[in-house]
């Protein structure tokens, strides 16, 4: 049987040298009821009743009572909201620090997101600029599979000579 694509043995010898993560500040937690109110207005309970929506669906189905809230593009910034670019930047800075590498050693930056504070700009180039990177950069927007695609692309670039690839997801 013949397989096309990146053979698994080509991934041998590659390693993830560091990771980083970022979360909005604790004061950015919102309740399910606050989200209902944001989406449906002050009369959200009446709307739920009319449409036969279960006000506890999210909690019962997924277990969420509170969620982190980041800034919604196209709306005014309130308090200390962060947006997806801020979170990608913070996580990437932590990963760079944890890898103990010079950012100029990064040969490619891949941003993985389906949310962007700027609908017309590439998050890859936007966040790379915030990080001060001078390497090529792009984004991948394929939902849940994006991180896997980013890892495969990173492996291909490394196998062809790129020393470090930074992925922010």
Q: How far apart are CA 70 and CA 83, in angstroms?
A: 5
Helix ranges (H only) for 41-145 are 44-51, 57-62, 84-99, 123-131
In this structure, what DSSP letter does residue 5 have? S
Encoded tokens for 30: 């919102």
How far apart, in Å, do the first and last CA atoms of the chain sit? Answer: 35
Instruction: Check whether 90 has a pLDDT greater than 80.
Output: yes
Q: Pick the range with the lowest mean pLDDT from 30-44, 66-80, 149-163.
A: 66-80
Q: How far apart are CA 153 and CA 137, in angstroms?
A: 12
CB-CB contact of 25 with 70 (8 Å): no
Encoded tokens for 15: 């390693």
How much of the chain, in percent, has pLDDT values that exceed 70? 85
Query: What value does the mean pLDDT of the chain take?
Result: 86
Instruction: Check whether 6 has a pLDDT greater than 60.
Output: no
Q: Torsion angle, CA of 6/9/14/16, rounded to 10 degrees? A: 80
pLDDT class of 1 with cuts at 50, 70, 90: very low
Instruction: Check whether 91 has a pLDDT greater than 70.
Output: yes
Instruction: Check whether 134 has a pLDDT greater than 50.
Output: yes
CA angle 64, 142, 118 (to 5 degrees): 80
pLDDT class of 74 with cuts at 50, 70, 90: low
Encoded tokens for 167: 């992925």
pTM over 0.85: no
Q: How far apart are CA 59 and CA 43, in angstroms?
A: 20
């Amino acid at each position: 049987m013949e397989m096309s694509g990146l053979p698994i043995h080509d991934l041998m010898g590659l390693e993830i040298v560091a990771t980083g993560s970022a979360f909005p500040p604790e004061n950015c937690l919102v309740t399910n009821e606050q989200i209902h109110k944001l989406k449906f207005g002050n009369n959200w309970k009446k709307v739920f009743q009319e449409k036969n929506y279960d006000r506890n669906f999210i909690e019962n189905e997924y277990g969420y009572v509170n969620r982190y809230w980041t800034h919604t593009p196209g709306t005014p910034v309130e308090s200390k909201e962060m947006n997806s670019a801020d979170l990608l930047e913070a996580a990437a800075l932590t990963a760079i620090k944890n890898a103990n590498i010079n950012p100029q050693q990064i040969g490619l930056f891949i941003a993985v997101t389906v949310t962007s504070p700027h609908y017309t700009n590439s998050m890859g180039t936007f966040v790379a600029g915030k990080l001060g990177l001078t390497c090529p950069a792009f984004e991948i927007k394929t939902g849940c599979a994006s991180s896997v695609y980013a890892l495969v692309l990173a492996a291909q670039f490394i196998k062809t000579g790129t020393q470090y690839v930074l992925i922010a997801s």
